[in-house]
Structure formats: structure tokens, C-alpha cells
Amino acid sequence: LLIFLKLSLFKSDSLVVWAVGPDGAIFWYFCIFSLIPCRRTDVLLMSPWLAPIVWEGTFNRDILNAQYRQKHLVVGVAMFAVKKYIRFIEGFLHSANKFFLSGHRVNFYLFTDHPEKVPSMTLSPEKRLFIIPIEPYSRWQDISMNRMNIISSYIRSRWRHEVDYLYSMDIDVQLFEHIGVEIIDTLVGTISSWQYTKTRENNSYETRPESRAAIPRGEGDFYYAASFYGGIVSEVYKLTTACFKGIMEDRANGIEAKWHEESHLNKYLLYHKPTRLLSPEYYWDEELILPHIVRVKRLSSVHKNLKEVRF
């Protein structure tokens, strides 16, 4: 039995201890930062590059909250509600106000082509909503891919002065359980819920070599959802800038990646490893049946007719 000690990428908050059996399986994991043993034998708790994977039962939020409140951090959330997606604003904000980083300062940055249709809502005192008008795009694919450029531009001009951490979230989701400071780290990716229904070979990476988002067949470790990612502002700036550069190079060559900005996100995170991974608890696709390993569904997509809302 091999025992490893590691100063975790939770910065100064944690020391992680785990045991690896003869077959390489991680079967005991102590979250010293939360003062509780995290006995999860049914899921992967550490990435191959030793980044923690956050699951229910692997942290103590009360202790983490006490530590992070002393740091007086501000977290930004960028989301986009364009065209028919404005119908999801109220549900998102209502659930995020209740469940997202409760008790911590959060700036919600809502980009929309219909600012006059944003419902009036009273948020918690520590949360603020900024409505930012944008021009509409003719295709939903363009809306999706231009998010990277908009986020990058606003980091450079504004957000680097306003927030410490920044996350991008889809607007057509709702939160059902608390999402707290366990998500905070340098660079954070969310493992796609589809990864738990298909083998790695069947993940939806872009594989065409002519695309800047291409990942060669057989490579890749996790498939990440573009619906929820983030980190410190400087790292999110690097990510969004690089992804948009790849998108523009593809566009110049008449190429559109298989899953648009998500394909470019996965290419970036393959070579710039996240320092923390969120399990599919943090973004579950409602099309899928919830497996027993997902004990808590914290955030999930809203059931909708994609053809109707996109066109």
C-alpha cells in the first residue's frame, strides 16, 4: 500500500492524503482542509496530474466558508441571454441567488440583446446584477462562439479590476443545491455528464486535423462542459483569448468546430490542465438518467426544445 502526501491546489487551505492500492485504485481520501475523511470508493477523486475532483462528501463547506470569508473575495459570473434565451433569466437568477456562493460577494454579469425584458429581482445584499447590452447575432452558433471574445474583452477592460475569480455559466440552467467555495481555484473545469455514459473514445472531441480545436484520436483525459468553467481572472483571460484565437483561425479557413466553443475549450484544457475539476454534480444534462454515483444534482440544464429556442 502506497501513501502519498500532497499540498493541494486548494492553495493554503488543504493538505490531501490518499492511498493507492496495488491495482492503482484510489480508495481512501482524506480532505484535511475540511477536517473530515472523504470515503468515496465509487468515484475518481484525483486527476492523473493530481488535481482534486470535487464530489459530494469530499469537503466541509462550513469550514471552507469561514476561511474564504476572511479573504473578502469577489466572484464574477458571466452569462448570456440572447433572443429566446431571455426566458431562462428569471429561473437562473432565482436559483443562483439562493444556491450560488451563499454569503459571499458575487457579481452577475448578464449579457443580453433585450435588456428591457430582464425581470426585476431583489437579490441578496452580497450579490449584484449588471445588465450589459449586446448586439444580437443571426445564428445561435455565432452567439455561442463569440462568448469567448466578449469575456476576454471585458476581463481586459473591466473585470480584472472588479473580481478575483470569474466563472462562465449557461443561462438555461437551474441550481438545486448549494454551490460554494469548493469550486474556487486557479483554473476550474467541469467534467461533462456525458462522460459517464460513454467511453473516452466516444467523447465528442473535434478530431479533424484542419481545425484548431482538434484533439487526436486516443488523446484527451476528460471531456469538459462549456456550460460551467472558470478560475482566477488572469487564467480565464488566457483561456478565453486562446479559444477565440482558435475560433477565428478556424473561421478564416471555413471551419466550424464540432461543438463550437466547447471544442476549443477542451483543446485548451488538454494542454493547460485545470487545477481543480468539478464532478458532473455541477452540471448535469437533463437528457441523461442520473447514475447512483451522482448523489447530489447541484446544477442541471433546463428541459427545452432546442430547435424552438435556437431558431
User: Which of 182, 206, 262, 281 is labelled catalytic?
Assistant: 262
Q: Is 286 a catalytic residue?
A: no
Return the amino acid letter for 96.
Answer: A
Nearest to 127 by CA among 96, 154, 156, 158: 96
* CB neighbour class for 85 (10 Å; exposed up to 12, middle 13-18, buried from 19): buried
Inter-residue contact 297 to 176 (CB < 8 Å): yes
| Per-residue b or e along 63-78, where b marks 16 or more CB atoms closer than 10 Å to that residue's CB | ebbeebeeeebbbbbb
Task: Give the whole-angstrom CA distance, residue 39 versus residue 56.
Answer: 10
Angle at 263 (CA atoms; ends 269, 255), nearest 5 degrees: 135
Inter-residue contact 39 to 215 (CB < 8 Å): no
Active site (catalytic) residues: 262
